[in-house]
């Protein structure tokens, strides 16, 4: 049977896209080489902008029912200053979560199935099929290694940073900045945290998140150039990266998992549409994880692409479809561009002492605190707060 859309990859981008298209009544196949529940190398904090998608899709309550602790306070430590607050609600939703990917991704896959998408796990896409210069489907191996094909009007690569679909269509990288950070994380018991804690220091960032099963996920990042040094003694360097008070708390707890880490953190947009194909999620756009936007951006991409395909698949015109896919890419880049720039600035891990007085002013002023929280949460452009006139107004000529 031919499908409207075949999606390669069934995590944060692919599974919601399959769900949304199936809810439109489209014939959708989504494949993943893994079987769910399945973990991946990623921390998993979700700002209100991210949980708002789950809310809209009817999945937030399901996530809450998995025992994922709701998060309602953010503590941002910048140099000697601590700013505490929470981002404003997005579509009435101000709760944050940090669900294990084993739980979140399985929930998204189930939602795709429930909506009527055909989900095939343990299937690896090997090649794309083409017809008259357009991508026309996939060639894949099933779990037993048996090859099969699936035809579709649109093939979507939701297959992550190292996208096979992107490579097959030779999607160019159109904006890029080399990796700025690297890091390791692990899950701890006995290290309670009320809300999330972010520590931005010269050359390092530490992120502390409460997650399922009473555990705390702690990421310790460093400048990318320190990767080899960091890897030479992961535990020693990880612990050395913690502020002394946090190191004491961690010392009283217990590490429950091995360290996981990566330095493969490029900042880039890929061309994400062409004749009969599209990219979504990390395949289309990757940015340093420091700002915690990847899952929300995958959700955003899924929603924008589903909307574009709703129009593009009406009728049988390739021109209409191609125009809709071009519109998707444009809309996605407009929505994510400001945070891309802000992420590059933050991930440089520079802590200019000159900004400490401004952070002190932010900590003293509830309006500025709210603005900072909204910048962190990805709903206020950084330049709305970090601009010369606001900074001068609050810290004078200093
Ligand atoms: C260290 C780290 C920390 C992060 N922390 C956060 C955070 O706190 N908050 C946040 O919002 N984001 C975070 N992110 C980003 C987030 O993990 C990603 O943006 C998100 O996972 C992207 O989802 P995706 O569905 O596009 O891709 P992926 O999650 O990479 O999923 C791609 C899927 O495609 C499948 N696949 C690949 N190739 C094939 C093939 N040939 N055939 C079949 N299947 C295939 C894979 O098996 C995989 O399941 C972090 C990332 C990293 C690396």
Pocket lining: 34 vs ligand 1, CB cutoff 6 Å? yes
Count of residues making up the chain: 398
CA–CA distances in Å: residue 356 to residues 15, 44, 246, 362, 384: 42, 29, 21, 10, 18
DSSP letters along 118-175, please?
Answer: EEEES-EEEEEEEETTEEEEEEEE-TTS-EEEEEEEEEEE---TT-HHHHHHTPPEEE
Sign of the CA dihedral running 361, 363, 365, 370? positive
Pocket lining: 42 vs ligand 1, CB cutoff 6 Å? yes
Tell the residue nearest (CA) to atom 35 of ligand 1: 9
Pocket lining: 84 vs ligand 1, CB cutoff 6 Å? no
Q: Residue 271's pLDDT is what? A: 98
Pocket lining: 41 vs ligand 1, CB cutoff 6 Å? yes
CA–CA distances in Å: residue 178 to residues 175, 227, 283, 305: 10, 14, 16, 27
Pocket lining: 241 vs ligand 1, CB cutoff 6 Å? no
**Both tokens of residue 199?**
């520590």
Report the nearest atom of ligand 1 relative to the CA of 284: 26
What burial letters (b/e) apply to 186-195, b meaning 16+ CB within 10 Å? bbbeebebeb
Using the predicted structure, report yes or no on whether residue 83 has a pLDDT greater than 80.
yes
CA–CA distances in Å: residue 13 to residues 203, 250, 271, 279: 31, 34, 16, 9
Beta-carbon neighbour count of residue 363 at 10 Å? Answer: 18
What would the pLDDT profile of 36-56 be if each residue is shown by its tens digit?
Answer: 999 999 999 999 999 999 999
Residue 282 CA to ligand 1 center (angstroms) comes to 6
pTM: 0.98
What's the rounded Cα separation, in Å, for the pair 243 and 257?
A: 21
Lowest mean pLDDT among 97-101, 106-110, 111-115, 339-343: 339-343
Pocket lining: 9 vs ligand 1, CB cutoff 6 Å? yes
Using the predicted structure, report yes or no on whether residue 355 has a pLDDT greater than 90.
no
Residue 316 CA to ligand 1 center (angstroms) comes to 32
State mean pLDDT over 65-86: 96
**Backbone phi and psi for residue 142, each to the nearest 5 degrees, phi listed first:** -85, -175
Is 285:339 a contact under the CB 8 Å cutoff? no
Residue 249 gets which letter from DSSP?
Answer: H
3 closest CA partner among 24, 23, 33, 30: 30
What would the pLDDT profile of 208-222 be if each residue is shown by its tens digit?
Answer: 999 999 999 999 999
- The alpha-carbon radius of gyration of the chain (Å, integer) is 21
The confidence band for 1, taking pLDDT boundaries of 50, 70 and 90, is: low
Pocket lining: 290 vs ligand 1, CB cutoff 6 Å? no
Beta-bridge partners for 85: 74
Pairing state between β 277-279 and 273-274: antiparallel
Furthest C-alpha separation in the chain: 69
């Amino acid at each position: 049977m031919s499908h409207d859309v075949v999606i390669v990859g069934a995590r944060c981008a692919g599974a919601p896209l399959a769900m949304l298209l199936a809810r439109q009544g489209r014939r959708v196949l989504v494949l993943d080489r893994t079987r769910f529940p399945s973990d991946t190398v990623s921390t998993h904090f979700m700002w209100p902008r991210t949980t708002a998608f789950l809310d809209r899709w009817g999945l937030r309550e399901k996530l809450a029912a998995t025992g994922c602790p709701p998060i309602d306070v953010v503590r941002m430590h910048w140099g000697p200053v601590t700013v505490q607050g929470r981002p404003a609600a997005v579509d009435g939703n101000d709760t944050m979560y940090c669900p294990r990917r084993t739980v979140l991704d399985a929930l998204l896959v189930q939602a795709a199935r429930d909506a009527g998408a055909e989900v095939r796990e343990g299937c690896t896409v090997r090649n794309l099929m083409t017809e008259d210069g357009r991508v026309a489907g996939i060639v894949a191996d099933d779990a037993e290694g048996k090859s099969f094909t699936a035809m579709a009007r649109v093939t979507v690569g939701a297959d992550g940073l190292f996208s096979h679909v992107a490579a097959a269509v030779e999607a160019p990288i159109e904006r890029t900045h080399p990796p700025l950070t690297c890091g390791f994380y692990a899950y701890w018991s006995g290290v309670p945290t009320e809300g999330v804690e972010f520590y931005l220091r010269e050359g390092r960032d530490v992120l502390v998140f409460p997650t399922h099963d009473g555990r705390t996920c702690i990421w310790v990042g460093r400048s990318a150039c320190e990767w080899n040094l960091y890897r030479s003694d992961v535990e020693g360097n990880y612990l050395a990266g913690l502020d002394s008070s946090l190191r004491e708390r961690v010392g009283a707890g217990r590490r429950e998992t091995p360290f996981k880490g990566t330095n493969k953190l490029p900042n880039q947009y890929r061309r994400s549409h062409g004749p009969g194909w599209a990219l979504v999620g990390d395949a289309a756009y990757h940015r340093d994880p420091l700002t915690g936007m990847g899952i929300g951006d995958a959700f955003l991409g899924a929603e924008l692409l589903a909307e574009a395909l709703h129009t593009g698949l009406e009728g049988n015109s390739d021109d209409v479809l191609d125009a809709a896919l071009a519109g998707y890419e444009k809309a996605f880049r407009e929505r994510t561009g400001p945070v891309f720039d802000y992420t590059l600035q933050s991930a440089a891990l520079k802590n200019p002492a000159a900004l400490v007085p401004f952070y002190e002013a932010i900590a003293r002023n509830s309006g500025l605190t709210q603005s900072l929280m909204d910048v962190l949460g990805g709903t206020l452009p950084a330049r709305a707060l970090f601009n010369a006139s606001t900074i001068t107004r609050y810290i004078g000529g200093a």
